[in-house]
Every structure is written in C-alpha cells, then in structure tokens.
Amino acid sequence: MTVPRGKFITFEGIDGAGKSTHIRYCADLVAARGIELVSSREPGGTPLGEKLRELVLHEPMHLETEALLVFASRREHIAQVIEPALARGAWVISDRFTDASFAYQGGGRGLDLIKIETLANWVHPELWPDLTILFDVPLEVARARLDATRELDKFEQEKADFFLAARNEYLRRAAQYPERFRVIDSTQTIEAIRLQLAEIIGALR
C-alpha cells in the first residue's frame, strides 16, 4: 500500500513577530489528529545544519556566503529530515524555509533575488511548502517584544531599515503566492491567533 505524502508547513515572519510562540501549539493540533509530526527549524534541523546555524547567526560574513550557507543547511535538512518524513506520510513543520532567504538575504541585505531564485531551483526544484503561515507585525511591535525577552543575535541587532525590507519582501511573496501563504495579523492576542491557527491547520487535509 502506498502511503499518502505528508504536508510541509512553514512558519515565517520577522524576528519578534511571534512565530516560535505558536509552533508548539500547531504541532499539537496536527499530532491530535493522529498524524506523525516532525518539528524542525532553519537554519538548522540536522547536526551539520545546527553548526552552520551557529556560523550564520554569529559570524560576520559576505552576504553571498551567508546565502550559500543557509542553502547548504537547507540541502542537508531536506535530504535528511524533510523528504524522508514527507515520504513516510509524516507532516513537517519548519520554523523558516526559503521565504526567509528571500526576506533576509534578499530584502534585508539586498542580495539580487534572481540569485536566491537560482539557489532555490538548485536545492529544491520540486519542493515547496503546502502551507506557509506568515506572522506579520509592524516593526515597532516586533522590536518591543524582542527587547523585552532575550539577548539578540546578528540578525536581531540589525537596524529598522533591514526589518522593514524583510517584512516587505515577505508580504510581497505572500501576495505573489496567495494559494500557499496565510498571513496572520500578529498584533492580535495569542488567544485570537490560536483560534485562527486552529482553523487554518484544521482545513489542511
């Protein structure tokens, strides 16, 4: 008997938008349906990917090196985690995927989007998420949330212009691929967002 392929769900948004807050909740929603759920993240998701994450998040580097490393991490993640899981019918929730490269390396750092498109076509020509949930908030809200919580990594220390451009690129892609993206107004309360997420995840078959 052939197993139906699993679903690939990605969470996106600028730092502080509230993505991590909701991943566990969504994972539980999927698992409650009796579906095997694999929760992962990028950069990272594999032992090698986590080493690359450390470099990408903490070492200064040329913007193209940064793009190549996030895609190297992604290649490993797809080969070791995402594809095997989807093939056995598990669902995968990844905290970020290629839309983050468009937003951060493209929008934020200004790397030519054609180069990112080229890397995406090389690394995952066939694979795109079935569903991408974009947590969208104004910069000031994201910043206030981050400042209240933790020590900031290399990206989180970037200036307002960087995040403005990253947010705009996310919104541009959401408008370009409306069938894949669901945009959440992340200024709402956590409870209101959960209700919306339950509806979105519940509708995914």
Ligand X SMILES: Cc1cn([C@H]2C[C@H](O)[C@@H](COP(=O)(O)OP(=O)(O)O)O2)c(=O)[nH]c1=O
**Site residues (CB under 6 A) for ligand X?**
15, 20, 41-43, 57, 70, 95-96, 100-101, 104-105, 153, 155
Q: For residue 146, give the DSSP letter.
A: H
Q: Is 36 helix (H, G, I), strand (E, B) or coil?
A: coil
Q: Which does 16 bind (CB under 5 to 8 A by kind): ligand ADP, ligand X, none?
A: ligand ADP
Q: Is 16 annotated as a binding residue?
A: yes
Residue type, 54: E
Residue 190 makes contact with ligand ADP by CB under 6 A: yes
Q: Is 14 annotated as a binding residue?
A: yes
Residue 21 makes contact with ligand ADP by CB under 6 A: yes
Closest approach, Cβ 56 to ligand ADP, in A, equals 16
Residue 43 makes contact with ligand ADP by CB under 6 A: no
Q: Is 6 annotated as a binding residue?
A: no
d(CA 100, CA 106): 9
User: How many distinct helices (H) and strands (E) make up the chain?
Assistant: 9, 5
Site for ligand ADP in 118-147 (CB under 6 A): 135, 145
Q: Which does 91 bind (CB under 5 to 8 A by kind): ligand X, ligand ADP, none?
A: none
Q: Which does 190 bind (CB under 5 to 8 A by kind): ligand ADP, ligand X, none?
A: ligand ADP
Phi, psi of 40 (to 5 degrees): -145, -175
Nearer residue to ligand ADP within complex by CB, 11 or 71: 11
According to DSSP, the residues that pair with 132 across neighbouring strands are: 10, 181
d(CA 89, CA 123): 22
Cβ atoms of residues 52 and 69 within 8 Å:
yes
User: Which residue in the set 15, 66, 99, 136 belongs to the binding site for ligand ADP (CB under 6 A)?
Assistant: 15
Q: Is 13 annotated as a binding residue?
A: yes
Nearest one of 161, 11, 176 to 95, comparing CA atoms: 11
- What phi-psi label fits residue 61: left (phi over 0), alpha (psi between -120 and 50 degrees) or beta? beta
Burial of 139 (0-12, 13-18, 19+ CB in 10 A): middle
Binding residues: 13-20
Binding site residues, ligand ADP, CB under 6 A: 13, 15-21, 135, 145, 149, 186, 188-190, 193
